[in-house]
């Protein structure tokens, strides 16, 4: 029995506690292991994988097969945090049946313990269908990157009264549908605070101010491994991008100057063995 294991109920219970939910993305085994050894609550295999690891301009091109492959790798290193996988674009929009089949694959083949999908009130029925199939769902509203072509850019959402009321309605509809938490992305902090206060499931903010029940960031942004320009809400806690380039430049220099590999990093043959090789004996 792993007493550190975070589960869907553990996350839901945080709504009534003062301990914030802390979440990060991961896309491979190495980072998953490192994150899982901390006190992190949730590891999300985000569809940001498309941009961060696969080099696409948006999250739209990432496929189910790619999400499954990366989620499976992350699951190998994730034993304490709750493992959530994003449902990629077009894996849940068409029908309940397709959504259940694809979410089921993320759970059964890849080892996810819950899925996240984007969309408010219009996704409520789909979310209910997934929950009836025993698949826990994390909602995601506000700035939803899979809607980039409709939104026309990654901009803060809820710019007028009508829009703020729609986002609030979305949160209430997701709660009614049975989500265990809701990501609030790119909305004003007062709207996030109002939603957080008025719903019974935990909110997890990204670009939504300090009043949410938790916070999520893209790991590569926090580590300084992300894009050259990051959104206002990103706080870079270190710059592994610079550190990586420094280390690689040192390596290049030392190889060219014949400093590396030195004696400490080489296998030495015993003189006797060498002699017998040259003797042919
Ligand atoms: O894909 C992603 O990384 C996300 C975030 C909420 C960070 O959806």
Q: What is the DSSP letter of 157?
A: B
Distance, in Å, from the CA atom of 105 to the CA atom of 255, rounded to the nearest integer, reads 46
Does the beta carbon of 221 lie inside 6 Å of ligand 1?
A: no
**Measured CA distances, 79 to 29, 38, 191, 266 (Å):** 12, 11, 34, 36
Does the beta carbon of 174 lie inside 6 Å of ligand 1?
A: no
Does the beta carbon of 47 lie inside 6 Å of ligand 1?
A: yes
pLDDT at 16: 87
Residue 281 pLDDT level (bands cut at 50, 70, 90): low
How does pLDDT run across 15-42, given as a tens digit for each residue?
989 999 999 999 999 999 999 999 999 9
pLDDT at 167: 98
pLDDT at 72 over 60: yes
Does the beta carbon of 216 lie inside 6 Å of ligand 1?
A: yes
Q: Could you give the 3-state DSSP secondary structure of residue 132?
A: helix
pLDDT at 273: 67
Does the beta carbon of 183 lie inside 6 Å of ligand 1?
A: yes
Residues annotated as part of the active site: 185
Q: Is 24 exposed, middle or buried (0-12, 13-18, 19+ CB in 10 A)?
A: buried
Distance, in Å, from the CA atom of 103 to the CA atom of 119, rounded to the nearest integer, reads 16
pLDDT at 278: 63
Pocket mutation for ligand 1, best pick of 40, 43, 44 (most atoms within 8 Å of C-beta): 44
Closest residue to atom 5 of ligand 1, CA basis: 46
Task: Look over the chain and give the mean of its residue pLDDT values, rounded to a whole number.
Answer: 95
Q: Could you give the 3-state DSSP secondary structure of residue 22?
A: strand
How does pLDDT run across 104-152, given as a tens digit for each residue?
999 999 999 999 999 999 999 999 999 999 999 999 999 999 999 999 9
Closest residue to atom 4 of ligand 1, CA basis: 46
- pLDDT above 90 coverage of the chain, percent: 91
Residue 1 pLDDT level (bands cut at 50, 70, 90): confident
pTM: 0.95
pLDDT at 272 over 60: yes
219 CA to centre of ligand 1 in angstroms: 10
pLDDT at 125: 98
Q: Find the length of the chain.
A: 281
pLDDT at 259: 98
56 CA to centre of ligand 1 in angstroms: 15
Does the beta carbon of 117 lie inside 6 Å of ligand 1?
A: no
Closest residue to atom 2 of ligand 1, CA basis: 46
Nearest to 27, CA basis, from 80, 77, 99? 77
């Amino acid at each position: 029995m792993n007493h550190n294991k975070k589960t869907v109920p553990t996350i839901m219970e945080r709504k009534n506690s003062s301990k914030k939910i802390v979440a990060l993305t991961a896309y491979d085994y190495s980072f998953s292991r490192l994150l899982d050894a901390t006190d992190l609550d949730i590891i999300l295999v985000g569809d940001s994988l498309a941009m961060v690891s696969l080099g696409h301009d948006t999250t739209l091109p990432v496929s189910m097969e790619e999400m499954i492959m990366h989620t499976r790798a992350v699951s190998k290193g994730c034993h304490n945090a709750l493992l959530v996988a994003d449902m990629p674009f077009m894996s849940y929009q068409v029908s309940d049946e397709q959504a259940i089949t694809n979410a089921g694959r993320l759970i059964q083949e890849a080892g996810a313990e819950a899925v996240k999908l984007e969309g408010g009130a219009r996704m409520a029925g789909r979310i209910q269908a997934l929950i009836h199939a025993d698949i826990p769902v994390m909602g995601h509203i506000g700035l939803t990157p899979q809607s980039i072509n409709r939104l026309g850019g990654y901009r803060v959402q809820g710019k007028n009264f009508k829009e703020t009321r729609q986002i609030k309605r979305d949160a209430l509809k997701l709660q009614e549908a049975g989500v265990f938490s809701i990501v609030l992305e790119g909305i004003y902090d007062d709207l996030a605070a109002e939603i957080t206060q008025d719903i019974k499931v935990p909110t997890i903010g990204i670009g939504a101010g300090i009043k949410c029940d938790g916070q999520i960031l893209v790991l590569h942004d926090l580590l300084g491994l992300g894009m050259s320009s990051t959104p206002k809400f990103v706080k870079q806690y270190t710059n592994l991008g610079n550190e990586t380039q420094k280390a690689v430049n040192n390596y290049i220099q030392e190889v060219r100057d014949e400093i590396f590999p030195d004696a400490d990093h080489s296998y030495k043959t015993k003189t006797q063995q060498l002699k017998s090789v040259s003797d042919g004996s």
